[in-house]
Amino acid sequence: MPKIDVYNVEGKKVSDLELKEEIFGIKPNENIVHSVLVNYLANQRQGTQNTKTRSEVRGGGKKPWRQKGTGRARQGSIRAPQWIKGGIALGPKPRSYKYHVNKKEKKLAIKSILSSKVLEQNLVVVDKFDFKEIKTKQMANAMKNLKIEDKALIMLAIGDEKVQKSARNLEGVRTISVSTINVFDLLKYKKLVLTVDTVKKIEEVYA
């Protein structure tokens, strides 16, 4: 069972925490992580791109010249795809890129990334963020005390306005809750910062 140090916002070690093996100590499955990441990115696509076919481009109702006798190739409309300002042949149309990945694969991908963070020593556990007011400097000092210089993802058990707003102006720092956990954010940010309550919530949800 993996064990990790717990720090306070001053950067001092206050205790140890045992992590569940089946969530934070599995062998990472890179194939599943890649599959779920591709699914996440596909589901974010809006699919609003649109091109006009020859029937949608304005004009071109009249045949440009007679069928025979001119020596030129026959043409039916100046809005055919081969003409400048003509319609687009086989261009993109609005569509949905969404598809589903089963829940077991999503859970395995999350567990794989969490386990990777532990293996790479990129998981930081804090006892709590007990901010009395919304102040960016508080969070900046906490990150400095915890010696976090890379991009960091702070995950909370539940939303906390004081913590979220204190972190939002810090470059390279993002705050989410356990309910909005996703593979994209976990992979994008090198350091993962969890509170003790967040660890318990994750173990409760993903056990």
Q: Count CA atoms closer than 13 A to 21's CA, side-chain side.
A: 1
Closest CA to 113 of 153, 150, 149: 153
Q: Are residues 111 and 157 in the same domain?
A: yes
> What's the burial of 193, exposed, middle or buried (CB within 10 Å: 0-12/13-18/19+)?
buried
Q: Are residues 184 and 111 in the same domain?
A: yes
Mark which of 62, 96, 130 sits at the end of a domain: 96
Mark which of 60, 80, 96 sits at the end of a domain: 96
Q: What is the pLDDT along the chain (207 residues), one digit of tens a residue?
A: 788 999 999 999 999 999 999 999 999 999 999 999 999 999 999 999 999 999 999 999 999 999 999 999 999 999 999 999 999 999 999 999 999 999 999 999 999 999 999 999 999 999 999 888 999 999 999 999 999 988 999 999 998 899 999 999 999 999 999 999 999 999 999 999 999 999 999 999 987
Q: Are residues 65 and 150 in the same domain?
A: no
